[in-house]
A and B are shown apart, each in its own frame.
Chain A
Amino acid sequence: MTAASIAVAGMVERNPAWVQMLGLCPLLAVSSSVVNALGLAAASTLVLIGSNTIISLMRKLLPEFARLPAFMLLIASLTTLAVMLMEAFAYELYLGIALFVQIIVTNCIILGRAEAFASRQPAWPAFLDALGTAAGFATALIILGGVREVIGHGTLFANLDQLLGAGAANLTIRILPEHQRLLLAALPPGAFMVAGLLMALGRRLSQQPIQSGD
């Protein structure tokens, strides 16, 4: 496998959210707007890349029985780190989504990549695998967050200053007038509906025509 194919596989063929259907709890809970989606994507990326790389570096030191405890320890520490950084540097966002950032600990995407890939591969491929998987999760989050924010709030990129600093305060684009928004899309049932429709669309687009004679 080449470096690029490892990263691309994580993003497309093995996309953790759309293909493997993993990490759906935080995905659905947090994706009500682009800024929330970006916040969780950033935290997941930090934890995923950190855990994959460190686990790959430690893989020869760890006997079988100590593997899972060590993975959990690392993932929990990295998640705590992400939450602490968020509390210090993006407090508004922290107040809104910290709860879902904390449950990255139990996110099967991360333990899954640690066990299936990082514990058997050198650090560079493990890093690329984490990068691809994180990009795949981030893409899913941001698309879902964008669609739900447009339909549910009528805006795109609102409150980005919570994550990117005061310079991003003016990036808000109003797409639908205030009175035409469909609040359902921003609420939990809307998360399921929009996610289901997006998954169906993704399947439709990626479907290969059936070869005749097979």
Chain B
Amino acid sequence: MNSRTRGFLVLMATTLVAISTLAAVHEATRSRVEGNRARALWRHAQALTGIDDLHLRGTPPAAGSTIRLEDGRRLLFGSVEGYGGPIDFLTLLTPTRTIAGIRVTRHQETPGIADFIDQPDSEWLHQFIGLDAGSLNLIDGVTGATITTSAIRRGVHGLVNQVGDLP
């Protein structure tokens, strides 16, 4: 066997071993990682609503679902396609269906450029407060993060609109 064939075979074998190891680890840690994500999402929901014992356990609702809180507010679970993948976010609505708060819970937008979307004191997210489905066009975009910001605005709009029909 000449060295070219041998090198090729060794590279192929290394690739196969590496991929199968990573796949096995992914499979073995999947339920743990999902549990971690669920806990993190509930923590975001608690911080947004100010309700400390909000569904601590259990799988979080899927994107598009709504929880009606005892005080009449609604917590909406949203997801929208951003620049680098899905952006998961929570929206809190007052009983009169104006927005009381937004929190981005998970995203893969460009680090450094889109950092402002997942900071709790984000001024950009603050703009949403007090708006309703009809006035979301008042949100300013952000240069450099055009797709990210318009995706969130679109996602929030879709989510809030959908609640419009509910009693």
Contact = CB atoms under 8 A, between A and B. Distances in A.
Given A62-B10, A66-B10, A69-B11, A87 B33 contact: yes
A81 B11 CA distance: 19
Nearest to A80: B22
A91 interface: yes
Contacts of B14: 58, 70, 73-74
A84 B26 contact: yes
Tell me if A's interface is mostly helix, strand, loop or mixed.
Answer: helix
Nearest to B118: A95
A189 B7 CA distance: 46
Interface residues of B, number: 23
A84 B7 CA distance: 29
Interface string B4-43: 1011101100110011011001100100110011011000
Contacts of A80: 22
Q: Which of A63, A69, A80 has the most CB of B within 10 A?
A: A63
Interface string A27-42: 0000000000000000
A1 interface: no
A155 B42 CA distance: 28
A73 B8 CA distance: 13
Interface of A: 58, 61-66, 69-70, 73-74, 77, 80-81, 84-85, 87-89, 91, 95, 99
Interface of B: 3-4, 6-8, 10-11, 14-15, 18-19, 21-22, 25-26, 29, 32-33, 36-37, 39-40, 111
